[in-house]
Amino acid sequence: METIIALYIDLEDEETEEDKQKKVYSYWDQTPDILLEEIFSYLTIRERYYASLVCRSWYRAFKLQNVWSTFTLEDTTLTRGKFNYYSGWQYVLDHMRTSTCLNKVGRNFRTLIFEPMLNFYNLYEFMNMVSWYTERQGSDNTSVAGVGTYIRRLRFTFPCNMANRDDPDRIRLFGTGGKLLEALKRLMRNLQNLRCLELIDLMLDSKEALHLMDDICVICTQTLSKLVLINTTRYYCPLLHIGVFLNLNTLVISPQNLHEDVIDLIGYTKLEHLHIVQNRYSPKDTTMRLPKRSSWIKMKKNNPYLKVHFEVESHKPTDILLPIDLLEHGGIPCHSIVLDNPNTQISSTTILAHGTFFESTLKVYAFKGLTRYFLHRNFAERLDEALVQFCRMCPNLHTLVAFCV
């Protein structure tokens, strides 16, 4: 019968030489801190806690700075079970646990990510707690200095699709606002060292959207380098605030928030990459229009190094993709087009039209994923020939991704 030998990770100070000879030790406790930081950064908060109980070396790694550089809030993060007579057991934010977390490692946060959450109470309370710690900065015995001071990136995604999650193709859109929007604006106002701000699927009312960026414009005019505003509003509403950020390098925005005046303001910034993005919740109908040709020509004159990238995600066969007109939008310095529309059949005419519009600037042309429709068996009526012609039309093209099955 084989004997079972236990593998010990850590050495005990009180062990005798005889005990040490009888036990088999590993060297996991001698893993360099730089590797432990990388490993711990991929774990959830619960998993980090359990890992810290393994040995003294891992306990020390639990509090290393890079382990907590990115903090992601989800529905069950820092929560406790609470029974509700109407809804049963629910995950409710544990304020004591959250306070302990912010006191111990809050000063190490560099990136704050809010994933789509259905528990708005937890989201609202956590944002207010971070804002409170940032405002206090250790001025009393209940807070510590440094929380929020070093956060460079804020990513907030609102769960705008309230349809049943069991039916992924169904979409029922609702926007945020009210107290939740107030908490978000308060948080943004307190994060005065932001370099990257990402607001996704807020679907605000036009009146609320016009004042969304007021505080950010005051505190981050010269520091913000990347701004993501995807579906800030559901309908057409130009956002002029983006022209205030003088050192902006990358701007990701939806078409419904662009206007000739916005393009004109962009020309006076140091912007290098303008991503015009439509995700699955963006409107894709005849009301969507890009700014006129004159504004693009003026922008190129003031900012000749700017590159425009189109990214479209669609799941409906009836969606209208890239509302581009040859006479109006031929002057756009488009460098890439990425289409993620497995249910929408792309015609050869559309592909050749894209090549005609942007033949001198286009470098990347991609179809993401596999198509969910059947192509014609006749080779002459498939997209293969059109793609070959497209490559010949665009001499600067260096990346082509297409699945023609």
Exposed e or buried b for every residue in 65-79, given b needs 16+ CB within 10 A?
Answer: ebbbbebebbbbbbb
Please give the pLDDT value at position 148.
85
Other beta carbons within 10 angstroms of residue 233's beta carbon come to 24
Mean local confidence (pLDDT), 193-218: 92
Q: Is the pLDDT of residue 6 over 90?
A: no
- How far is C-alpha 281 from the geometric centre of its chain's CA atoms? 15
Give the H or E element holding residue 377.
Answer: none
pLDDT tens-place string over residues 209-226: 999 999 999 899 989 999
Residue type, 240: L
Architecture of the structural domain at 27-68? Up-down Bundle (1.20)
Q: How confident is the model at residue 1 (pLDDT cuts 50, 70, 90)?
A: very low
pLDDT tens-place string over residues 289-331: 888 888 888 998 999 999 999 998 887 766 666 666 656 677 7
pLDDT tens-place string over residues 59-93: 888 888 889 999 999 988 999 888 877 777 888 99
Contact partners, residue 115, CB within 8 Å, separation at least 6:
72, 73, 74, 157
Select the more confidently predicted residue: 152 or 175. 152
Please give the pLDDT value at position 164.
67
User: Euclidean distance between the first and final Cα of the chain, in Å?
Assistant: 58
Burial degree of 166 (CB within 10 A; 0-12, 13-18, 19+): exposed
Q: The domain 69-404: what is its CATH number?
A: 3.80.10.10
Please give the pLDDT value at position 378.
65
Q: Is the pLDDT of residue 10 over 60?
A: no
Domain with CATH 3.80.10.10 in the chain: 69-404
Q: What is the mean pLDDT of the chain?
A: 84
Return the biggest CA–CA distance within the chain.
87
Please give the pLDDT value at position 402.
77
Please give the pLDDT value at position 307.
93
Query: How much is the pTM?
Result: 0.86
Domain with CATH 1.20.1280 in the chain: 27-68
Select the more confidently predicted residue: 286 or 266. 266
What are the DSSP calls for 91-141, one per residue?
EEE-HHHHHHHHHHHGGG--EEEE---S-HHHHHHHHHHHHHHHHHTTSST
